[in-house]
Structure 1
Amino acid sequence: MSIPKTQKQWVITSKDKDFDGLVYQDGPVPTPGDHEVLVHLRGASLNYRDLIIPKGEYPFPINLPVVAGSDGAGDIVAVGSKVTKWKKGDKVLTLFNQGHQRGDLDIKASKTGLGGCFDGTLRQYGAFAETGVAKMPSNLNYVESASLVCAGLTSWNALYGLKPLKKGQWVVTQGTGGVSLFALQFAKAAGAIVISTTSSAEKAEMLKKLGADHVLNYREDVNWGETARQLTPGGEGVHHIIEVGGADTFTQSLSAIKMDGVISVVGFLGGRAPKDNILEALSRVCTVRGVYVGSLEQLEAMVAEIEKHDIHPVLDKKEFPLEKAREAYEYMWAKKHIGKIPIIIE
């Protein structure tokens, strides 16, 4: 196929509460450098971070203007002269922090996030370092693969990055967003026992179908953290909690965690200001850990596990073409979605 000179892309030009700083425009198709690959992006998905960047609420560095989006998957259509890892035709997905290859995240790597510091994936073509992409899972399509980039890898890092999850351990997931659903699927694949929280009977049924062993309705049980603790043997508490609610849920997470357990803080959907003194982590003798996605090494390990267990991401029933990505932003902001929102790129 011939590679065009220009492409369609969504660029964050400014911060505005109504997404008015998110602009659909023409842009050049980049030429890959010596150590880069050019990817014809075919699928993307959205994360909560994608929404709060144009709204000016993102707590990490950004460089405006920037092409929006971090989640992408597609086909390599050109390679730089010194690329050895890939060839034309390879199917790949993007690495969120392009500089985070392995081990601990550092300041330098934290400033290489797609769709914030580096141009992202809501476009037709993107040039990425050959170390900034990973092999697509053989059992997934483009949009399913794209959904792994941020939410999937974040949940994988939460479960395996500090104290690796073991068979028979207990895990709490919160809600039906992308990170939480991936955590549920990964935990069940590992033989863990999962307690999931939700707000409706309909969502509870979906969580049970995905394998949740217990589902707690947080609207009906405001002290669900203690309920979760009492479900565990001897009332000792759970080993891992995927904390996405922030101010609204952190109290309950502290109630549910076992001694020496890990609360992985991956979001703040209920607000950023904590209602609890973080020093309570001392009385609970637990670890509270912030998780900022993960490394290429972790991404490759996650892909292998997804292939091994034939795990398929939960995608929302509504798909959006690239040109209607702003509508996808508004749809997600209104909390109408379940799982990951698919964006189709031609």
Structure 2
Amino acid sequence: MRAQVLEAFNQPYIFKKIPKPSSPKGHELLVKVEAASYCHTDAVFASGAMWQTLPRVGSHEFAGTIVALGEAVSPDQNLQVGLPVGVPGRAFHPCGKCYECTNNDGDPDGYGVWCTKAGNLGLACDGGFEEYCLVDSRQVAPIPSNMTAVETAPLMCAGVTIWNALQTARVRMETGGGIGKTIAISGAGGGLGHLGVQFAVKLGCKVIAIDTSDAALDLLKGIVQDLGPWGVNVSIVDARKQTAEQTRSAISQPRAGLEDEVGADAVLILPEAQQAFDYGMKLLRNHGICVMVSFPKDGLHFHPRDLVFRHISMVGVLVGRNRQLRAMLNFAAKEGVRARVTTYKLEQLNQLVADYHQGASGKLVVDMSK
């Protein structure tokens, strides 16, 4: 079968023929890949900055059709040959015995998304940049009838991660559940960010959409336009031209002498930049929450006084549980949340990567039908 294989760090993918995966066993499914999305973590992995080994077929956010099931796939999951499914990277072959697997908050029995012994498709084991892929039946989500594989693939990491970030920011995850909340998104014009803007607005939040590049800001303008009446609840901020203090004071008019009462209820930090973190922290009102989604190699500096004297909470998120994945995908289908995508042939993966590093906006997706 055709595949794109990373055989050396900081080198192009190699397009080649490799053996088709064996028949699925246990909880496994064999999926015919129809679309595979490129994520920032793919770029981090390809740079050699992670702990995984090569060779590797990348992509941990993809979608396709089930062609075979292992003998242990539970009938309760309602999976069958021919069913279109979205596939996130985590978790492949969890141990079933650890705390994560036995305290999994509504996910399938023995399945823990954050099991430390589990594999991650596209990183620890082969992912979606190939024609067929073995996946865990407990990690997938059926694709709603009004969504395509190309629309679904970017939601399998970017979508569920930003959905989890919003829930961690104390937004109720139902239409209108965020009314009364102001959410700032730093890096709003990126792959995760532009999905976060759509989710947050459709959940009822007011959104402060922050970015620093012309391409990202143009993408945000298009998102707001497409949101129609919902768009009035999005304020786009060019952080190159507007200080955090100015942005914060514009969120709402403070009462005289009580300026500390205004600010965002939560900020989602997506860029791997100290400046983005500092800007976001300054937007928060007292008792707000900072949700970290990025993980810069050299870390970030923060002031404990923000946590102590302003009572700011800081928490990180990594993807989400399977029940969150399914809820996110169904919400996206119902409310019209879609990534802005540019598609490529599988043979064009290295051009996709080059475009990504040159600042292409939205999500870049391999469409296997091209």
Question: What is the TM-score with the length of structure 2 in the denominator?
Answer: 0.82
CA RMSD between the two structures: 2.3
Look up the match of 1:4: none
Tell me how far apart the structure 1 counterparts of residues 7 and 52 of structure 2 sit (CA, whole Å).
11
**1:38-61 deviations in whole A, cap 9, x for unaligned?**
110000111111111011124xx4
Tell me how far apart the structure 2 counterparts of residues 214 and 227 of structure 1 sit (CA, whole Å).
13
1:315 aligns with 2:315: no
Look up the match of 2:80: 87
Task: Give the alignment partner of residue 142 of structure 1, picking from 128, 137, 149.
Answer: 149
Look up the match of 2:43: 51
Look up the match of 2:348: 324
CA contact (8 A) 1:247 1:272 kept: no
**1:191-234 deviations in whole A, cap 9, x for unaligned?**
1101112333634522432425211111212x2x2223212333
Structure 2: which 5+ runs fail to align?
95-99, 173-177
Look up the match of 1:157: 164
Look up the match of 2:97: none
Tell me how far apart the structure 2 counterparts of residues 186 and 133 of structure 1 sit (CA, whole Å).
21
* SS, match of residue 46 in structure 2: coil
1:64 aligns with 2:58: no
CA contact (8 A) 1:264 1:291 kept: yes
CA contact (8 A) 1:95 1:296 kept: no
Tell me how far apart the structure 2 counterparts of residues 188 and 326 of structure 1 sit (CA, whole Å).
34
Task: Give the alignment partner of residue 261 of structure 1, picking from 288, 302, 313.
Answer: 288
Percent of residue pairs identical: 25
CA contact (8 A) 1:243 1:267 kept: yes
Tell me how far apart the structure 2 counterparts of residues 285 and 262 of structure 1 sit (CA, whole Å).
9
Amino acid at match of 2:190: G
Amino acid at match of 2:293: V
* SS, match of residue 201 in structure 2: helix
Tell me how far apart the structure 2 counterparts of residues 308 and 116 of structure 1 sit (CA, whole Å).
31
**1:296-329 deviations in whole A, cap 9, x for unaligned?**
111011112112213222223xx21111111111
Amino acid at match of 1:208: V
Matched residues, number: 329
Look up the match of 2:207: 194
* SS, match of residue 85 in structure 2: strand
Look up the match of 1:3: none
Tell me how far apart the structure 1 counterparts of residues 158 and 357 of structure 2 sit (CA, whole Å).
16
How far the C-alpha of 1:117 sits from its partner, in A, is: 1.3
Look up the match of 1:14: 8
Task: Give the alignment partner of residue 324 of structure 2, picking from 298, 305, 323.
Answer: 298
Q: How does 1:1-346 map to 2 (within 5 A)?
A: 7-16=1-10, 19-20=11-12, 22-30=13-21, 31-58=23-50, 61-83=51-73, 84=75, 85=77, 86-98=79-91, 99=94, 102-103=104-105, 108-109=115-116, 111-161=118-168, 163-165=170-172, 166-173=178-185, 174-198=187-211, 199-200=213-214, 202-209=218-225, 210=227, 211=231, 213-221=234-242, 223=243, 225-233=244-252, 234=254, 236-245=262-271, 246-267=273-294, 272-277=298-303, 280-316=306-342, 319-335=343-359, 337-346=360-369
Tell me how far apart the structure 1 counterparts of residues 150 and 298 of structure 2 sit (CA, whole Å).
30
Tell me how far apart the structure 2 counterparts of residues 129 and 207 of structure 1 sit (CA, whole Å).
34
Tell me how far apart the structure 1 counterparts of residues 6 and 308 of structure 2 sit (CA, whole Å).
41
Tell me how far apart the structure 2 counterparts of residues 107 and 259 of structure 1 sit (CA, whole Å).
31
